[in-house]
Chains A and B, each alone.
Chain A
Amino acid sequence: MSQTVTTPNLSTLTVGEVVASREFALTRDSLVRYAGASGDFNPIHYRDEVAVSVGLPGVLAHGMLTMGLAVQPVVDWAGDPARVVDYQVRFTRPVLVDGVTGALVTVTAKVGALNAEAQIVRIDLTVTFNEQTVLGKAQARVSLAVAPVSVVA
């Protein structure tokens, strides 16, 4: 499969502009899938009785799953995962994933800062669950330079 990707043009962006948003419906299946893919088998992410026994209200999503999905709207906006050159978050609130109804996580990505000389845009993410933010200082730096840096493996 081949595709033509249009890279966003930094000169047309303005600070505060929303560039992407997406909703993610998490289920317990999502957590099991992430556990397997990442190798993080902490049972608080799939067993209610273990979560409760350590004082949690229930099974939580892996913080790294929330971090991992939250950047995806940015990847799609940038057109290439390689353009995300730096990504940081603070884990501020847990995402409780109900066994029946799951959890809905909402991501909004907006321009936080522009560096025209380096062709880097800082995208600030607002990530919410139950109308509260779950990540703090969630920032992805995206290179919009002519070609993303890559080398032959």
Chain B
Amino acid sequence: MSVNPELQGRVFPPVPPYLVGREKVREFSRAVFATNPINFDADAARAAGHADVVAPPTFAVVVQEATLAQLLAEPDAGIDFTRVVHGDQRFTYSRPIVAGDELTATLSVSSIKTLGGHAMVTAESRVVDATGAHVVTAISTLVVRGDE
């Protein structure tokens, strides 16, 4: 099985909206060893000008996850998830994620490259808020190891 080159350019349907909970932000913040009060304390966040606690910079991966699951489950993708290694990751924010946000992510496959026996799949998940305004784009490159 090898990665289908026709995936390049494919845009998937948006995944169901993700409602960002305050306790989820706190839980995630603890898990990544965050110590900033703006991640935990709504009053500290408001004092800094935010509507509620602010999620850590990598929190968008939680929202992105459902889009990557869509990609791996795509019947003609040819991506064997047991051979997938996370190559690189990027988050580009228009504004921070805060508790109370309702976020919708849409995945598109920006490139498929083959290198030796491996395939590099770059997938971009564009995350917007309830008004449709851009919040963050999460870009992952997945390395799919070839048959040995």
Chain A residues close to B by CB (< 8 Å): 1-3, 5, 24, 30, 33-34, 36-40, 54, 63-65, 67-69, 71-72, 75-76, 79-82, 84-91, 137, 140, 147-153
Contact = CB atoms under 8 A, between A and B. Distances in A.
A103 to B, nearest CB: 13
A108 to B, nearest CB: 16
Contacts of A71: 56-58
B35 A33 contact: no
B39 interface: yes
Interface string B108-137: 000000000000000000000100010000
Interface in B64-111: 65, 82, 85-96, 98-101
B44 interface: yes
B79 to A, nearest CB: 15
A69 B33 contact: yes
12 contacts: A69-B32, A75-B34, A80-B38, A80-B48, A82-B95, A85-B92, A88-B88, A89-B88, A90-B87, A148-B96, A150-B49, A153-B51
A1 B41 contact: yes
A67 B92 contact: no
A48 B99 CA distance: 35
Interface of B: 20, 24, 27-28, 30-39, 41, 43-44, 47-52, 54-58, 61-62, 65, 82, 85-96, 98-101, 129, 133
B50 A150 contact: yes
A131 B98 CA distance: 36
Contacts, number: 142
B87 A1 contact: no
A149 B98 CA distance: 12
Nearest to A5: B48
A54 B82 contact: yes
A52 to B, nearest CB: 15
A150 B96 contact: yes
B30 A33 contact: yes
Contact of A36 (B31, B41, B49): B31
Given A81-B55, A87-B91, A148-B96, A40 B65 contact: yes
Contacts of B95: 82, 149-151
B49 A147 contact: yes
A81 to B, nearest CB: 5
B47 A64 contact: no
Nearest to B33: A69
Contacts of A86: 90-93
